Structure 1
Amino acid sequence: MFRDTVGMFYLLPPRNTLVAAALSLVLSRLSSSSLSVPDVPHIATYFGTKTRYEEVNPHLLRDVLSVNKSVLKPPPTERCSPVHLTAVIRHGSRYPTVKNIRRIQKLSELVRREASRGSAGSWLQDIQSRWENWYTEDMDGQLVMKGRDDLRQLAQRLSALFPSLLSEENMRRISLRSSSKHRCVSSVEAFQDGLQQVWRRSEVQYRHQVDDELMRFFERCRGYVEGVEKNRTALLEVEKFKHGEEMEGVRRRMAERLGLPHQRLTPDLVEAAFFLCSYELSIKSVHSPWCFLFDENDAKVLEYKSDLKQYWKRSHGHVISSLSSCPLFHHVFRTLDRAGRPRRSTEASPEPASILVGHAETLLPLLSLLGLYKDETPPTSNNYHTQHGRSFRTSLIVPYAANLLFVLYDCQRGPRLQLLINESPVRFPGLEAEDAPLYRDVRATYRHLLDGCDFHSECEGRPGGRGPNTEL
């Protein structure tokens, strides 16, 4: 009996030993090759919010459960132990949304029509022969199997990092909340799958709360919805770049490679081809033929276009975008306050962990409110060439399964707080001297937000209309 590389068993006739030996050799070669890093597109690190988590942490391509405990950095001179973890997590890899599926369908129709005429370039005919459109509108942003793996494996790694917090004994005291979107509910379930695999429980029991007030706060903030989301001028920089010189160059080069008239390819279709490369990698781990249409410079331009959108829609571009996350900000610090304060023996123990599963749109405003990834010069439509060293790169900040971890330690000098983003240490702005500053110093740094940042007054009561606030 032999097992193939996807776990299927085959029974071989005992008398056919020659065939058995040959098959065994083939399977062993396939098995050993599967241990090596798979073929990854050369542009895989530029997919913005559609980037795989493994591109941010490439060591996971070799071992998905690899954990580096040295990322936990309480002061070596103090005796410290972790007492609480709050994790704000983006859902895992997903199918395209309906909007992008329709763009893919348009691109697919163009390829089929032009390739059948026989006058198109060889690249176009090659794509037509090697690729078939398999996306359907009912997929609409749902979590894929790889996305479940993303969250399951993240839970297992966090359990290895924080065994005393994410333990079976603490099972009923771990708080789990999710956005109502199907991909987030599936993700929080997969996270629980991962924990219960660690605990070796045979029956998985899901218990989580759907909480859109926390995880989809941006929908409830009227100032944000009217001032940014529905305001045509709020994303002006994105529109200007979309039709600017750099994007036009990518469009022209792609048309030449495909042997198509330039005017047949709209900027949206160029982006659809780029996204196809990202989707097929994140969903199927496939190096799609669409990837070969773009060189690294093209990918950097398309990443920048995506970053402009996220910057001006969800991040530092308009201050209301950050302030819309006030409910989540206050929830995190209330939870940390409870976990860090002294307790009487009669009081119930605080939550050892709070797991909050949402979207890139959940993480980006909160990261911005915390003052992270704010470059001295904001990205605009006309400064692309000076922005190559920017810290605001969504490919690195909010890939699928992105996570913002607040780790509270009990230390000799008092509670300390460490921040990790995508399982790597990041220092709080204004407190760069320490990896895990005293919690009271963190609270002092954010005192203006802890005492203010009122959701109602920021989102409903801002004077002077609801146009976007462009403080940078």
Structure 2
Amino acid sequence: MFSGSLPANGLLLPAFTLLLTRVSSSSVSAPDIPHIAAFFGTKTRYEEVNPHLLRDPVSVNASVLKPPPTERCSPVHLTAVIRHGSRYPTVKNIRRIQRLSELVRGEASRGGGAEEGWLRDLRSRWESWYTEDMDGQLVMKGREDLRLLAQRLASLFPSLLSEENLRSGRISFRTSSKHRCVSSIESFQEGLQQHEYSHQVDDQLMRFFEHCRGYVEGVEKNRTAMLEVDKFKHGDEMDGVRTRMAETLGVPRDRLTPDLVEAAFFLCSYELSIKSVHSPWCFLFDESDAKVLEYKSDLKQYWKRSYGHSINGLSSCPLFHHVFRTLDKAGRPRRSTDAPPEPASILVGHAETLLPLLSLLGLYKDQTPPTASNYHSQHGRSFRTSRIVPYAANLVFVLYDCQRGPRLQLLLNESPVRFPGLEGEDAPLYRDVRATYRHLLDGCDFDRECEGRVVGRGPNIEL
């Protein structure tokens, strides 16, 4: 489907950049990775989902592209919905980190001479270096996340993310207004060797959840909407983690709130994703503790952003319709006089952008919803945000021109995902995908869903 040679005028510079990145990174050994690094939920590094990138950050596997081998196919368009890269903590978590640090330095009892070195470091040497002005901004590692993702996608799709298409302005870039997203889309363009940034800020599209009254009042501001999360937060599993951590640190258990337990867990994730450091905070948790805290995070995302309430997914109707309108244009038969279709659309937002869209598409929906009381039966769940929406998570719609007509493939974090109801094919006919989502393409009216019934909209337990 693809030729092995690069076009002389298009991708020699990106290809050379890929080679330099590969050579320079291969001489740097991977950092000592915490044993709990794969359980950080939405604060997970992208490399935990794709560990091969630690060895070679620009490696791509062309076999993930799976049009039918019996048909001649070529990619004609891609739409990528991308989460921003690694970032600093938000102000809320920075304040929790400061409270935790003060608690440990001020009230932790000192152990004997045989005390672990990492524990001595926590009690006496570790100092919080996070300041409130950081507030969720992209870090250098986050910029690299997006630059490298752009290079890998350009390597997978050289005819679409080409220098010629960039120079002619045929690739569109849209982003959330948040600083970390704007920085991410600029970094993505740098990865494509475009240094004069060109993008549109579009919060109606990338932060749709803020504009949906049914969501804001029915979930965001509805205290009963997160009942399962609150129950688990104060339940037996979390209580066990809290007790063990208090004993290890030598702090009064009643002073170590569930929020401070989570702050310590997130500190391990931040030090890794920001500095590639194995923080002493990581040693407070074994794998079973990490799974409890990951589950608490997943419960929050499930009930606040995903299947827990129908309005969560429906709030993403504007983005859903935008994606399919773009695909419709790219797949429509054209006369010789028509302008060629847009080869690529790059959309940068948040985990809160991706999760509702994935839910609307019906992906990662388990038969039994996660609740505060069924933790032990949920270990095999498919809804794991650590795997689905790490930093720099990306959902890519690849449209192929094939002999039998246009076909569509989904990639999540650079791995193939099959459409629900069309599991027999990696790249089903586009018309079959449209038929599967006909009810949403013809319906899913944002104004009706978001401005309709709000009062009394409580948890939707019957999914």
Give the TM-score, by structure 2 length: 0.92
Alignment match of 1:218 (pick from 209, 217, 223): 209
Aligned to 2:138: 143
| 2:189 corresponds to which of 189, 192, 196 | 192
The 8 Å contact of residues 83 and 410 in structure 1, kept in 2 or not, is answered as: yes
- Post-superposition CA distance 1:155-197 (Å, at most 9, x none): 000000000000011111000000000000000000000001x
Distance 1:34 1:266, change over 3 A: farther
Matched, 1:346 2:333: no
Answer yes or no: is the 8 Å Cα contact 2:224–2:458 preserved in 1. Answer: no
> What's the RMSD between the two structures over aligned residues?
1.6
State how many pairs are aligned: 435
Corresponding residue for 2:6?
none
- The answer to whether the 8 Å contact 1:318/1:471 transfers is no
Aligned CA distance change for structure 1 residues 291 and 464 (closer, same or farther; 3 Å): closer
> Which structure's CA Rg is the greater one?
1
> 1:469, 1:213 → 2: CA distance?
25
Counterpart in the other structure of 2:64 = 71
Q: Is 2:452 aligned against 1:452? A: no
Distance 1:274 1:180 in 2: 29
**Could you tell me which residue of structure 1 aligns to residue 29 of structure 2?**
36
The aligned residue for residue 20 of structure 2 is none
Q: Distance in 1 between matches of 2:64 and 2:332?
A: 25
- Contact in 2 for aligned 1:89/1:402 (Cα 8 Å): yes
- Mapped partners of 2:455, 2:269: distance in 1: 42
Correspondence 1:250 to 2:250 = no
SS in 1 for 2:223: coil
**Alpha-carbon offset, residue 469 of structure 1:** 4.0
Aligned counterpart, 1:241: 232
Paired with 2:253 and 2:462, the residues of 1 have a C-alpha distance of: 39
Is residue 2:266 matched to residue 1:275? yes
Please identify, of 36-45 and 287-296, the stretch whose mean Cα deviation from structure 2 is larger. 36-45
Question: TM-score of the superposition, structure 1-length normalised?
Answer: 0.90
Contact 2:218 2:455 in 1 (8 A): no
State the SS of the aligned residue for 2:408. Answer: strand
User: What does residue 283 of structure 2 align with?
Assistant: 292
AA aligned opposite 1:136: T
- Worse-superposed segment, 342-351 or 307-316: 342-351
* C-alpha contact (below 8 Å) 2:165/2:343 kept by paired residues: yes
Which of these residues, 90, 110, 125, is aligned with residue 120 of structure 2?
125
Describe the SS at the equivalent of 1:233: helix
Residue 462, structure 1, aligned to residue 453, structure 2: yes
Q: In structure 2, which of residues 402, 419, 423 is the aligned counterpart of residue 428 of structure 1?
A: 419
Query: Could you tell me how far apart the structure 1 residues matched to 2:260 and 2:76 are?
Result: 50
Secondary structure (helix, strand or coil) at the match of 1:234 reads helix
Query: Would you say the 8 A contact 2:43–2:390 is kept in 1?
Result: yes
The separation in 2 between residues aligned to 1:105 and 1:461, in whole angstroms, is 42
8 A Cα contact 2:214 2:454, kept in partner: no
Partner of 2:179: 182
Contact kept in structure 2, 1:114 and 1:120, CA below 8 Å: no
Percent of paired sites with the same residue: 85
Any conservation in 1 of the 2:44–2:390 contact (CA below 8 Å)? yes
Taking structure 1 as reference, are residues 464 and 263 closer, same or farther at Cα in structure 2, changes over 3 Å only? closer
Distance 1:424 1:32 in 2: 23
- Determine the C-alpha separation between the residues in 2 that align with 1:63 and 1:297: 30
Q: Which amino acid aligns with 1:157?
A: R
Q: Deviations over 1:294-331 (max 9, x none)?
A: 00000000000000000000000000000000000000
Q: Does structure 1 conserve the Cα–Cα contact (< 8 Å) formed by 2:84 and 2:349?
A: yes
Which 5+ residue runs of structure 2 have no aligned equivalent? 1-23
| Aligned 1:236-385 pairs, distance under 5 A | 236-385=227-376
